Amino acid sequence: MLAHIVRSIVDDADAVNVTSGPGKGDKILLEVRVGPGDLGRVIGRRGRTAQSIRTVVRAAATNDDVDVDVDFVDA
């Protein structure tokens, strides 16, 4: 779901890569890598787009009793 949301926002959808790994404590870290120049589009003004994406992903993860963190990285 996370990859689908991000791919719909960026210009280079093929460059989007989502990886998961251990986060702090019991959380799972989801790292989103986007193509050059697309990080600003994903973060949005004052981080509003990034925060909205994090909220949706955390809500979906709550249904599975999982805590997640989402980080956005420029590839």
50, 10 in Cβ contact below 8 A?
no
Has this prediction a pTM greater than 0.75?
yes
pLDDT at 20 over 90: yes
Q: Taking the C-alpha atoms of 43, 48, 49 and 50 in order, what is their torsion angle to the nearest 10 degrees? A: 60
Taking only the tens place, the pLDDT of each residue in 25-54 is 999 999 999 998 999 999 999 999 999 999
Residue 50 structure tokens: 């990034």
pLDDT at 75 over 90: no
pLDDT of residue 30: 97
CATH at 60:
3.30.300.20
Q: Which long-range contacts (CB under 8 A, 24 or more apart) does 14-22 make?
A: 15/75, 17/75
The domain of 37 spans 2-74
User: Total domain count for the chain?
Assistant: 1
